[in-house]
Amino acid sequence: MENKTTRRTYWLPFLSTLVLLFLLLPGASVREIHGAEPKENLSASTFKGNQRILDGINLIYDRRFADAEALFRKMTADAPRDPSGYFYLAMITWSRLAAGFWTPETVKEYKKRIDRAIEVAQARVDGKGANSYDFFYLGGALGFKGRFELMKGNMFASFLLASDAIEALKTCREMAPDDKDVLLGIGTFDYYTAKLSGVLKFLTYFLLHRGDKKEGLRKLYEAASDATYSSTEAKSVLLYIQLFSEEDFPQALALATELSNRYTKNPRYKTLEGVCFIRMDKDPQYRETLAALLTRSREATSPATATIWKNRALYLESIYDLYHGRYAEARLRLEEILKHPDPEHDPTMIAWPLIKLGMSYDLAGDRDRALGYYNQVLHMENPAGAQFVADKLLEDPIEPKDPFIGY
């Protein structure tokens, strides 16, 4: 029990970074649709604008970034003083980072966009007549930026941004108590501040808002069930919590299955569905999921898309092998992925197979060879987000049955 607890504590800062890649993905609440003051003289098209937000969020989850970009650029052109369009443009860039496009140019674009979203939202809050909608986007944008600072190791800057974000979200909730979308950000904060330790735990003592794991999960499930715009992201956050932190695999499976059925162009959720079956020792269902990934590859309309789905099948097989002590077999599958790199369409399947190769040697007791792979990731031009895992694994090796073998 002690070793398991230690491993979980070790991975918590990293897990919070991964799960909070999208701290908030909300739109305006229903109250804003029907009762808010008009924005940019667009009162006649307010409902249409919010429908566009829903459409844009779905485009992002299905990895249709160019289409989402066009939609939200149009929103900022229509309403240049409304924070929503800027917020979602930043969300697109962050989603590209999360999808593995971790280039210096994309990071620079993210910084620019998130600062612009904060600037526009803050101007609305500082002016007269600000409504819950404005505080909502201000809190979301500050939360986004805080997560980025945490990833870079800037704990104090992250703490200050988180503090301001929660203050804005609480104001939003006071102004619109029936708005369930806000529960995503507050519930996530509740859960992870309760799980933090060390310096980050110490910093939370200065907040009036205290962490509460049980309450955080309750709020997240309420958002997943009842939120208008952030329901999907609440489910995604809960999937990662249940699979990698709580290790409640039936709950994780239900979420993964729902999301994979809805976002059929995004291979991530289908892959995680397979990981759930692996952790539950349900081999027949794991094999069915593997077959489904290969079917998607065969039915793909382009060679690049076909390779993306095929590589996810190989990656899932390597996870199965690593959990079952089949390290040589895992390496063969990972090396097969690396024979066909596609940095333009799928950089994730370059850096992350290298991480898994390192894990295979760590699990086999060959620490020196494992370190070589982790260092290789750290020196990549585009490490696809795997650099944060590499940093952790350079400090301590992965252990058998660790939940992050399945990431």
- Per-residue model confidence as pLDDT tens digits over 96-107: 998 899 988 999
Residues 107 and 254 in one domain: no
Per-residue pLDDT of 175-187, as tens digits, reads: 999 888 889 888 9
Residues 78-92 have pLDDT tens digits of 999 999 999 999 999
- What CA–CA distance (Å, rounded) separates 28 from 64? 22
Of 193, 222, 244, the residue at which a domain comes to its end is 244
Task: Name the average pLDDT for the chain.
Answer: 85
What are the pLDDT digits (tens) for 249-266?
Answer: 999 999 999 999 999 999
Q: Are residues 161 and 275 in the same domain?
A: no
Residues 252 and 230 both lie in one domain: no
Could you say which of 244, 260, 279 is where a domain stops? Answer: 244
Q: What is the pLDDT of residues 378-397, one digit of tens each?
A: 999 999 989 989 999 999 99
254 with 395, same domain: the answer is yes
Q: What is the per-residue pLDDT for 48?
A: 34
Cβ pair 384, 352 in contact under 8 A: yes
Mean pLDDT score, 234-263: 96
Q: What is the pLDDT of residue 133?
A: 80
Whole-angstrom distance, CA of residue 195 vs CA of residue 217: 12
Whether 226 and 285 map to the same domain: the answer is no
Task: Identify the pLDDT of residue 203.
Answer: 56
DSSP 168-195: HHHHHHHH-TT-STTHHHHHHHHHHHHH
**Nearby residues of 165 by Cβ (< 8 Å), 6 or more positions away:** 23, 138, 139, 140, 142, 143, 146, 185, 189
pLDDT value, residue 127? 87
Tell whether the model's pLDDT for residue 288 goes beyond 90. Answer: yes
Nearest-angstrom CA–CA distance, 332 and 297 = 20
Per-residue confidence (pLDDT) for residue 197, from 0 to 100: 57
Helices 367-378/348-363 angle, 10° precision: 160
124: helix, strand or coil = helix
Other C-beta atoms lying within 10 Å of the C-beta of residue 154? 14
Stretch 47-68: mean pLDDT: 84
What is the per-residue pLDDT for 204? 57
**Gyration radius from the chain CA atoms:** 21
pLDDT score recorded for residue 108: 94
With bands split at pLDDT 50, 70 and 90, how would you rate the model's confidence at 157?
A: confident
Q: At 63, which CATH number?
A: 1.25.40
By the 10 Å C-beta count (0-12 exposed, 13-18 middle, 19+ buried), 252 is classed as buried
One domain, residues 294 and 204: no
Name the residue among 154, 175, 152, 172 with its Cα closest to residue 164.
Answer: 172
**pLDDT for the residue 160:** 84
CA atoms of 281 and 340, how far apart (whole Å): 31
Q: Which two tokens stand for residue 141?
A: 């944008």
Give the pLDDT score at 147: 80
Give 16's contacts (C-beta < 8 A, 6+ positions apart).
Answer: 150, 192, 195, 196
Question: How confident is the model at residue 196, as a pLDDT?
Answer: 66
Q: Please state which of the ranges 123-137, 159-173, 204-218 shows the lowest mean pLDDT.
A: 204-218
Shared domain check, 159 and 21: yes
Report the sign of the C-alpha dihedral through residues 348, 354, 358, 363, in that order: positive
Least confident of 26-40, 145-159, 162-176, 244-258: 26-40
> In this predicted model, what pLDDT tens digit does every residue of 327-356 receive, in sequence order?
999 999 999 999 999 999 999 999 999 999
Report d(CA 262, CA 255) in Å as an integer: 11
- For residue 297, pLDDT beyond 90: yes
Q: Which amino acid, 116?
A: R
For 96, the token pair is 């590209």
Do residues 313 and 290 touch, judged by C-beta distance below 8 A? yes
Please tell me the predicted confidence (pLDDT) of residue 209: 57
Where do we find the tokens 């709580």? 246
Q: Are 371 and 88 in contact (CB under 8 A)?
A: no
Domain total of the chain: 2
Strand, helix or coil at 382? coil
Helix axes 132-151, 155-175, angle to 10 degrees: 160
Q: What is the pLDDT of residues 267-287, one digit of tens each?
A: 999 999 999 999 999 999 999
**What is the DSSP code string of 191-222?**
HHHHH--HHHHHHHTTSSSPP-HHHHHHHHHH
- Same domain for 252 and 218: no
Residues 380 and 272 placed together within one structural domain of the fold: yes
pLDDT of residue 228: 83
Q: Are residues 262 and 168 in the same domain?
A: no
Q: Taking a C-beta distance cutoff of 8 angstroms, is the pair 396, 10 a contact?
A: yes
Name the nearest CA neighbour of 331 among 308, 367, 289, 359: 359
Residue 171 banded pLDDT, cuts 50, 70, 90: very high
The CATH number for 289's domain is 1.25.40.10
Where does a domain end: 204, 221, 244?
244
- Both 54 and 200 in one domain: the answer is yes
Domain housing 361: 247-406
Residues 226 and 257 in one domain: no
